């Protein structure tokens, strides 16, 4: 598979592979755990973020890394009864690398999540933590690992940390929004690609799609954009490594270079294509 071949740069650099790196002192990137509240009440939900800062020229990866790399992952270590929600990812950037085309982030990036405090939580200080693993790359890739921890007080009244609240709110504004309810996306299957069609009332001059699933589209291929009377189409080339036609196309749709929307639409004609292959 191309992703495995592309990741060989990491293997050659560290002779440890890129899939399951052991925790190592961080280089060229730093990670920290930030929490919106210093005190929370039983039964409440608390916003939390994992902040990455990379050196100039270095990057980390999105949930779909693209042609190479590995997405950050955290194994939460939480007090009994507290649960963490899924990670929320800001819109990535498309990056040309020696390994192909990747999706990721440079500079400062915050992945969001939330903690559910149980109704039965007792007053006192809790330690919120987790083991974090990520990959930072430039000309080479370096596995990184760290144990992150932050205290949270359970009390009768919540106490917000103004600094972290502002930071996490700014991060939340970078998370793709849901498509407007009056937009009905359609995805049709083509012999060598997928056509995404949208009908929008506002002018659209550019569109870009980031796939949530690996090896579904050709990451480095041009995405053909058309706008005919308010109907916008984007043609995506299939990955040469696609082995089974997907039933849904999921990812992030970036419009006019700014507004980002979560995208999940069934692929029309996928069932028919599957039937043909089974005959």
Contacts of 163 (CB under 8 A, 6+ apart): none
Could you state, in order of their start, the residue ranges of all structural domains in the chain? 2-175, 178-278
Q: What is the rounded distance in angstroms from the CA atom of residue 73 to the CA atom of residue 90?
A: 15
Per-residue pLDDT tens digits for 52-81: 999 999 999 999 999 999 999 999 999 999
CA distances from 233 to 213, 223, 226 (A): 20, 10, 5
Rounded to an integer, what is the distance from CA 259 to the centroid of its chain? 16
Per-residue pLDDT tens digits for 194-209: 999 998 778 888 999 9
Structural fold of domain 2-175: Immunoglobulin-like (2.60.40)
Pick the CATH number of 178-278 from 1.10.3470, 3.30.420, 2.60.40, 1.10.287: 2.60.40
According to the model, what pLDDT value does residue 16 have? 36
221 within 8 A of 234, measured Cβ to Cβ: no
According to the model, what pLDDT value does residue 12 have? 40
| Element holding 9 (H helix, E strand) | helix 8-14
According to the model, what pLDDT value does residue 26 have? 72
Q: Kindly indicate the confidence band of residue 271, based on its pLDDT and cuts at 50, 70 and 90.
A: low
Give yes or no on whether 2-175 and 178-278 have one common fold.
yes
The pLDDT mean for the chain works out to: 88
Check pLDDT > 70 for residue 145: yes
Mean pLDDT of 229-254: 93
CA distances from 140 to 6, 8, 30, 137, 146 (A): 11, 10, 17, 6, 20
33 within 8 A of 148, measured Cβ to Cβ: yes
pTM of the model: 0.87
| Element holding 163 (H helix, E strand) | helix 162-172
Check pLDDT > 60 for residue 242: yes
Measured from the Cβ of residue 75, the count of other Cβ atoms closer than 10 Å reads: 10
Handedness of CA 64, 99, 94, 147 (dihedral sign): positive
């Amino acid at each position: 598979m191309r992703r495995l071949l592309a990741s060989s740069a990491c293997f050659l650099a560290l002779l440890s592979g890129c899939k399951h790196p052991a925790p190592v002192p961080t280089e060229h990137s730093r990670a920290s755990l930030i929490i919106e509240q210093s005190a929370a009440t039983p039964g409440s939900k608390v916003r939390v973020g994992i902040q990455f800062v990379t050196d100039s020229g270095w990057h980390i990866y999105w949930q779909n890394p693209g042609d190479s790399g590995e997405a950050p992952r955290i194994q939460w270590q939480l007090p009994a009864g507290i649960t963490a929600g899924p990670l929320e990812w800001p819109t990535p950037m498309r990056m040309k690398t020696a390994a192909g085309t990747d999706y990721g982030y440079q500079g400062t990036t915050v992945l969001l999540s939330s903690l559910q405090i149980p109704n039965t939580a007792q007053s006192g200080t809790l330690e919120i933590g987790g083991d974090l693993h990520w990959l930072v790359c430039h000309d080479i890739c370096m596995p990184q690992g760290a144990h992150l921890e932050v205290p949270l007080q359970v009390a009768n009244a919540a106490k917000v940390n103004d600094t972290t609240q502002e930071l996490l709110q700014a991060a939340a504004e970078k998370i793709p929004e849901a498509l407007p309810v009056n937009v009905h996306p359609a995805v049709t299957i083509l012999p060598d690609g997928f056509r995404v069609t949208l009908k929008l009332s506002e002018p659209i001059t550019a569109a870009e799609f980031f796939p949530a699933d690996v090896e579904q589209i050709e990451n480095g291929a041009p995405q053909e954009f058309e706008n005919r009377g308010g109907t916008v189409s984007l043609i995506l080339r299939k990955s040469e490594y696609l082995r089974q036609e997907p039933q849904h196309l999921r990812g992030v749709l970036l419009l006019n270079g700014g507004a980002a929307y979560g995208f999940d639409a069934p692929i029309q004609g996928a069932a028919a294509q599957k039937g043909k292959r089974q005959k």
